[in-house]
Structure 1
Amino acid sequence: MTEHQYDESKIKTLSSLEHIRKRPGMYIGRLGDGSHPDDGIYILLKEILDNAVDEFIMGHGKRIDIHIGEDGLCRVRDYGRGIPLGKVVECVSVINTGAKYNTEVFQFSVGLNGVGTKAVNALSSHFTVTAFRDGRYKTAVFAQGLLQREEEGETTEKNGTLIEFLPDSESFPGFRFDPQYVDQRLWRYAYLNAGLSLYLDRDLYLSKNGLLDLLDREVSSERIYPPIHFVDKSIEFAFTHTDDYGESYFSFVNGTYTSEGGTHLSAFREGILKGINEFTGKKFNGLDVRDGIVGILAVKVQEPVFESQTKNKLGNTDIRGPIVNAVKDAVATHLYKFPETAEVLVDKVQRNERVRRELQSVRRDAKAKAKKIAFKIPQLKDCKYHPSRGQASKPGRENMLFITEGQSAAGSIVSARDPMTQAVFSLKGKPMNVLGQRLDVLYKNEEMYSLMQALNIEDSIADLRYDKVILATDADVDGLHIRNLLLTFFLHYFEQLIKQERVYILETPIFRVRNKEKTFYCYSDRDMDEAITALKVKSKADRAVETTRFKGLGEISPPEFKQFIGQDMRLRQVRLDRLSEVSRVLKFYMGKNTPERKQYIMDHLIVRPV
């Protein structure tokens, strides 16, 4: 066996852009193909748009033009000040180069570490930057971060910057921009920057009322009082209450969405509590004040400290006190000015308080009953590894809970699973339809209570014991009904679990098509037809091809099932487009409107010819 020599020749020094290409996850979080809203191609687009929006924030340019071609080529043109012509190449290719370190030029910008545009350059097969400034322009063309050519001269174009990039197919194989995800991002920019016009070709994204428009979009009909809205130079917020359970927030720093919150969000929550208590002269519990709240917060921070390059969570501790005080004063002042709003809000808090106290005895009874049954949750086959509270596991080490129907399906998964990271909760029958039910029903229903305990989300979603919650139901009508009942359960009582995108649906094959040489597992009728055709071409007789339909997960043997929950597991993430749709969709599909639903099914029924 040859021992590899470790000497000076083994030490490598990568250029900054080479390092980005070698370790892209450090800079953009994940790669992907565009099928998930956090995939890298959207981060590339975001980095370029952030720079354009920063110009608007600083008072330069009220319009941004965007184009995304069918081949994935992106073009972003702003009408700000334009990159100084002598620094165009450095600003897009040398890390730690930029004007955003100079707080006199950029007071409230998103990108402060000088990496964003360089990452886009390094991860693009084609990247062109053109700066227009005071009648002159300069263009630089790159390929995979390497400078190809430069050009400069006179121009009649308005000041600003034009960037064109094509994500590199080596880093993003088979990528495609999903119009829905792009639309969502552009509307966020519009809501956070009232008065900014973003044009995606001819489509205009423009908000006149900022966060109020976003809140109306999310909870237009469910709110119980007009939103409380406040805006000044460095903070803007809006919130209202609904009759739903839990609390929902959208938080932003310098225009970027902080999906994991941070110090600004915790300060916002504390400020709301203190403001209401100051107005009422009482000491309400934070849970009572915030249950049913939907809030949006946007802050501008001169030197934000994010916990990652993708800026999901703010870490600045020095801003906590000022935000708490600003929110407290604004809330108390608003309640004094609008007594009708104050009356409805305080009544909501008092109702929350009564419900919580009524639930205390129900919770005690439920816990006492659970202890009598067993020390462990009987339907749960747990795994050995669990993430720390509030911390997501590292990629490749995520643990997960499969929720299955019946013992046969659970048996297949239990036999095939990895006991280190995969747990199984088996339902005894169809779960209860909890739509419209009070919270105490959750504690009186043994199965729903056991599921909540297995997940450990009674007190807070942050206590969730699993990285992924996976609905593993049969691919038939009953399985679909059970899946919908479970989704109703989570959306009704634990909406944050869905909002944080922790719930998934397991896709398992419906058919197995095989001959003596090869086996295909098919997830649709089309897959099955294609598999049969492929095998018949190689077979001399039709009878050599065997087709089996799996009626349920329990019919798939454990050795076969192992591959469907292993490395090649197919999962569909459950995501919310907007909160306002949840109530409407649940009432239609799970409510008591049976005749209306029956007519809808008849109108949209598709019969497959035999």
Structure 2
Amino acid sequence: MAKTSVNTYGNESISALKGADRVRKRPGVIFGSDGLDGCEHAVFEILSNAIDEAREGHGSVITVTRYADQSIEVEDFGRGCPVDWNEREQKFNWELVFCELYAGGKYGNGDGDNYEYSLGLNGLGSCATQYASEYFDAVIHRDGFEYSLHFEKGENIGGLKKEPYSGRKTGSRFHWKPDLEVFTDINIPVEYYLDVMKRQAVVNAGVTFRFRNQVGSKFETTEFKYENGIVDYVNELSGPSPLTQPVFWQTERKGRDRADKPEYKVKLSVSFCFSNTVQVIEHYHNSSWLEHGGSPEKAVKSAFVSGVDAYLRQQNKYQKNESKITWVDIEDCLVLVSNNFSTQTSYENQTKKAINNKFVQDAMAEFLKAQLEVYFIENPFDAEKIAEQVLVNKRSRESAEKARLNIKKKLSGSVDIANRVQKFVDCRTRDTERRELYIVEGDSALGAVKLSRDAEFQGIMPVRGKILNCLKADYAKIFKSEIIMDLLKVLGCGCEVQDKHAKDMAAFDLMNLRWNKVVICTDADVDGFQIRTLILTMLYRLVPTLIQRGYVYIAESPLYEITCKEKTWFAYSDAEKSEIVNGVLAGKKYSIQRSKGLGENEPDMMWLTTMNPETRRLIKVMPEDVERTAAVFDLLLGDNLQGRKDHIADNGYKYLELADIS
């Protein structure tokens, strides 16, 4: 039988995506994801352009409509997006705006910038969203005309239509439907719109954000408006009785991120108060919520720790030899919102969830430190309350940590179960925050895992033979099972079952759990999956709290080893195998082999794929609905024989190719 030749990798192998394919085939590059997150970000890109207009003083109302057919409309009352002929570029502006990535009115053109502080800075939004849509309609009113455009799957249909318009209204209205060929999910929930529009109302003082949601033939309307921006928001967050009243500080600075970089302007504004009931910290930059913070978060931490610590020292608030406060102690009682703008912004990526401008960080930290020093002098009563609350937080935290460590020491100091449980291999550390228990199948897996593990914090419990089905077995059998009793002893937390046959078991106490992670590690085959399910079932019936609290994990073993030259890739599914083979290894010679059982793996490979916290894949077992989980376990492993037959009849066809049928 002739072997299929491997594709050659030569000069003709290089190709470039063109036009709409730049977005449609790689949406994750532009939107950060090809899932619902990416689809939501596409909406935010269009909304950003409307916000930039409103912030420059052009229109004070922005309307977003969520239609029942999952299409979306954003309308503003700004100047209207330019779409007519551009003499300088020798193209229509609509081609630049909707068909050219990195084109727009925010780069500066020698005549002065249209937008001093811009959220939609990168020139990707309108074009990328249009490219990623099933259809995209634009209607623009400006210069006494109504302009309209229609696109389908990234292609313009019919060109630009231009008609005289006698109305006084100006602005842009975009109506589009995200394409399911681009995104895996386009059903953006109402909650996303409400959250985003409320946040935008907070940081764009005086602008009304109107959300219309189509339900049947009617539209439900919600409006957000904060006349005084972040000050009103902090008042709302802190409730009727904050520890201190909200303050508002703002300033403008000029500087550069590096000596060889251009100078730019930053406008800083912060509102905060202290509270002993509420804790909220949010950062915004050019109207974008910085979910992951970055520069402003670092600045606030630095300034507040430095400022509060300096006040405590000046007022001799620390006890003798007492340790310094930390950010956690301040954060626990702080309600703070920062809202900054800069003419140049360095986002971590296109999704704009963090910035890393060094000048923004330095300017903000310096400004806040200076303002806090003055604030403490001018508001001695508030300063006293803040100092007392921060010290209460600090001392409570330290007392709790001390008590927790003492309990751990008491529980684990004299534990020696290694000699009382057959073949159990303990780890060295007594620190239960670090200890991990790997439950493995059989002696061969025990040997492989023992050679691969980090003996400092990873223990091993082998399961010998088939474990009982704890949903079908009665308690008399369960508590006679040596495997189950040994496993419960190793866990250390007792049993949650109250039954006469469990009289020898200690009552359940989570504080006595000797492990931070309980990891079920079985082969990636049918037998391994069955053993994994039986172990999970046992834990679910006897110690369900461990699952509910997130202590139980499943270690994913790779299905395939793919080797090319001296490098090896591990694929955990057929989809991953295809991605590797058709992606990084496209056109190259490689070999694929099904991964061996755990007992046959080399220690280095086992450590890399299954045990190293830096590279392994663990799945946390966290049932959101305990009753539903119980029902599924009962259906598949319990006494409901007819229900199981019906389930197999209805769903078995989906798994025929996995069945061992000859």
Taking structure 1 as the reference length, the TM-score comes to 0.63
Shift, 1:6, TM fit = 3.2
Task: State the one-letter code of the partner of 1:90.
Answer: L
Distance 2:94 2:384 in 1: 57
Alignment of 1:206-605 (within 5 A): 206-220=225-239, 223-232=242-251, 234-243=267-276, 248-277=280-309, 279=311, 282=314, 285-287=325-327, 288-356=329-397, 358=399, 361-362=402-403, 365=406, 369=410, 370=412, 373=415, 375=429, 377=432, 380-381=436-437, 428=494, 446-447=511-512, 451=516, 505=623, 509-511=629-631, 532=646, 535=649
Tell me which of 206, 209, 226 is aligned to 1:195: 206
Alignment of 1:87-126 (within 5 A): 87-102=93-108, 104-126=113-135
Tell me which of 109, 126, 132 is aligned to 2:141: 132
> Aligned pair count?
450
Corresponding residue SS for 1:121: helix
Shift, 1:242, TM fit = 4.0
Corresponding residue SS for 1:294: strand
- Contact 2:332–2:393 (CA under 8 A) maintained in structure 1: yes
Distance 1:230 1:371 in 2: 53
Task: State the one-letter code of the partner of 1:85.
Answer: V
Shift, 1:182, TM fit = 1.4
Task: State the one-letter code of the partner of 1:142.
Answer: F
Corresponding residue SS for 1:40: helix
Shift, 1:121, TM fit = 0.9
State which structure, 1 or 2, has the greater radius of gyration over its C-alpha atoms.
Answer: 2
Shift, 1:104, TM fit = 2.4
- Contact 1:227–1:240 (CA under 8 A) maintained in structure 2: yes
Shift, 1:261, TM fit = 1.0
Corresponding residue SS for 1:99: coil
Distance 2:390 2:341 in 1: 30
Corresponding residue SS for 2:121: coil
Shift, 1:328, TM fit = 1.9
Corresponding residue SS for 2:20: helix
Worse-superposed segment, 136-145 or 352-361: 352-361
Corresponding residue SS for 1:101: coil
Corresponding residue SS for 2:148: strand
Counterpart of 2:162? 152
Tell me which of 74, 82, 85 is aligned to 1:84: 82
- Contact 1:249–1:294 (CA under 8 A) maintained in structure 2: yes
- Give deviations 1:373-409, integer Å, cap 9, x for gaps: 551549732699xxxxxxxxxxxxxxxx9xxxxx999
- Contact 2:65–2:211 (CA under 8 A) maintained in structure 1: yes
Distance 1:410 1:114 in 2: 59
Distance 1:383 1:62 in 2: 61
Shift, 1:336, TM fit = 3.6
Distance 2:360 2:621 in 1: 33
Distance 2:58 2:650 in 1: 66
Tell me which of 20, 29, 32 is aligned to 1:29: 32
Tell me which of 38, 45, 48 is aligned to 2:46: 48
Shift, 1:506, TM fit = 5.6
Corresponding residue SS for 1:252: strand
1:4 aligns with 2:14: no
Worse-superposed segment, 93-102 or 127-136: 127-136
Shift, 1:285, TM fit = 2.5
Taking structure 2 as the reference length, the TM-score comes to 0.58
Counterpart of 2:529? none
- Contact 2:200–2:287 (CA under 8 A) maintained in structure 1: yes
With over 3 angstroms needed to count, the CA separation of the structure-2 counterparts of 1:89 and 1:521, relative to structure 1, is farther
Worse-superposed segment, 91-100 or 504-513: 504-513
Shift, 1:322, TM fit = 0.8
Worse-superposed segment, 146-155 or 49-58: 146-155
- Give deviations 1:296-321, integer Å, cap 9, x for gaps: 22211221111111111111112122
With over 3 angstroms needed to count, the CA separation of the structure-2 counterparts of 1:450 and 1:355, relative to structure 1, is farther
- Give deviations 1:339-383, integer Å, cap 9, x for gaps: 332221111122234335545754664575556655154973269
Counterpart of 1:596? none
Counterpart of 2:487? none
Task: State the one-letter code of the partner of 1:120.
Answer: T
Shift, 1:428, TM fit = 4.4
Task: State the one-letter code of the partner of 1:21.
Answer: R
Shift, 1:28, TM fit = 1.0
- Contact 1:108–1:302 (CA under 8 A) maintained in structure 2: yes
With over 3 angstroms needed to count, the CA separation of the structure-2 counterparts of 1:154 and 1:534, relative to structure 1, is farther
Task: State the one-letter code of the partner of 1:352.
Answer: N
Distance 1:230 1:479 in 2: 53
Aligned-residue Cα RMSD (Å) equals 4.5
Task: State the one-letter code of the partner of 1:113.
Answer: N
Distance 1:215 1:478 in 2: 47
Tell me which of 65, 68, 78 is aligned to 1:67: 65
Corresponding residue SS for 2:358: coil
Gaps of at least 5 residues in structure 1 are 385-400, 402-406, 412-423, 431-443, 456-471, 488-501, 515-519, 539-559, 564-610
- Contact 1:76–1:162 (CA under 8 A) maintained in structure 2: yes
- Contact 1:222–1:243 (CA under 8 A) maintained in structure 2: no
- Contact 1:380–1:426 (CA under 8 A) maintained in structure 2: no
Shift, 1:73, TM fit = 1.3
Distance 2:241 2:544 in 1: 28
Shift, 1:64, TM fit = 0.7
Task: State the one-letter code of the partner of 2:94.
Answer: V
Shift, 1:254, TM fit = 0.8
